[in-house]
Amino acid sequence: DAGVIQSPRHEVTEMGQEVTLRCKLISGHNSLFWYRQTMMRGLELLIYFNNNVPIDDSGMPEDRFSAKMPNASFSTLKIQPSEPRDSAVYFCASSTGQGDAFFGQGTRLTVV
């Protein structure tokens, strides 16, 4: 298995534009997490899904952020409209639900 795959690896966009981050889970995993990492705030849990259902989205900062899991192996995190303070590295991680976690390489987002 290739592991958790995130795309794109880097994204530079202008303020106000829509940004979509993508994540492909490891086959057979049933839980997915989206995290944001910044120097100031460290790793913050944004949302996590179990069996395609959002369980806890309390970490999503604003209504500008939305996440979906259209099927068991794929998820998107969308920011619309993007702002400079959204600049961060966004990670997704997948899990079997037994407490393990496998992280993708992250998407470095820069909003100018």
Partner 1 sequence: KQEVTQIPAALSVPEGENLVLNCSFTDSAIYNLQWFRQDPGKGLTSLLLIQSSQREQTSGRLNASLDKSSGRSTLYIAASQPGDSATYLCAVSETNDMRFGAGTRLTVKP
Can you give the binding site for partner 1, defined by CB under 8 A? 4, 31, 33, 35, 42-43, 45, 48, 50, 55-56, 91, 93, 95, 97, 99-106
From residue 23, how far is each of 2, 14, 43, 74, 107 by CA, in Å? 12, 22, 17, 6, 10
* Distance, CA of 33 to CA of 92 (rounded, Å): 5
We find the least distance from the C-beta atom of residue 43 to partner 1, in angstroms, to be 4
We find the least distance from the C-beta atom of residue 102 to partner 1, in angstroms, to be 7
We find the least distance from the C-beta atom of residue 99 to partner 1, in angstroms, to be 4
